[in-house]
Amino acid sequence: MDFCKKCGSIMVPVKKKSAAYLACRKCGYETTKKVTSLKIKETNKKERKVIVLEKDTANLPVTAKMCPKCEHMKAWWWLQQTRAADEPPTQFFRCCNCNHVWREYK
Ligand SMILES: [Zn+2]
Ligand SMILES: [Zn+2]
């Protein structure tokens, strides 16, 4: 069991987009720690259209790509199946400078 760093109340798991986080019901404080459970895995299939902003970039490849926001020339990229399984996956980029995430259809 986790407790809120701010007020010490019990943290409850909250579903957010395709991931789940622990949140404090009292003060609204949220952890960045992802909660994995069977329930969340089930909903993931239905919520594939949502862009995962909290993608772990540590193991992602970096490519020379211009960020549309800050014009930085380096970005992490990954492929993600966002639509039907028979359609090509969408390529996502995340700016190494400002963390802006955008997508490109192949
Ligand atoms: Zn709290
Ligand atoms: Zn940028």
Ligand 2 mean position, distance from CA 67 (Å): 5
Q: Which CATH number fits domain 49-106: 3.90.550.10, 3.40.50.2300, 2.20.25.10, 3.40.50.300?
A: 2.20.25.10
Domain boundaries, the chain: 6-47, 49-106
Which residues lie below 8 Å from residue 85, measured CB to CB, with a gap of 6+? none
Catalytic residue flag (residue 30): no
Q: Does residue 7 contact residue 27 with C-beta atoms inside 8 Å?
A: yes
Alpha carbons within 13 angstroms on the beta-carbon side of residue 99 total: 7
The model's pLDDT over 28-76, given as tens digits with 9 standing for 90+, comes to 888 876 655 545 454 555 555 545 555 567 788 999 999 999 999 999 9
| pLDDT on residue 40 | 47
Q: Does residue 55 contact residue 94 with C-beta atoms inside 8 Å?
A: yes
Higher pLDDT, 55 or 98: 98
User: What are the two backbone dihedrals, phi and then psi, of residue 9, each rounded to the nearest 5 degrees?
Assistant: -75, 165
Ligand 2 mean position, distance from CA 66 (Å): 8
Side chain identity, residue 46: K
Ligand approaching nearest to the C-alpha of 29: 1
| pLDDT on residue 38 | 43
Q: How confident is the model at residue 25 (pLDDT cuts 50, 70, 90)?
A: confident
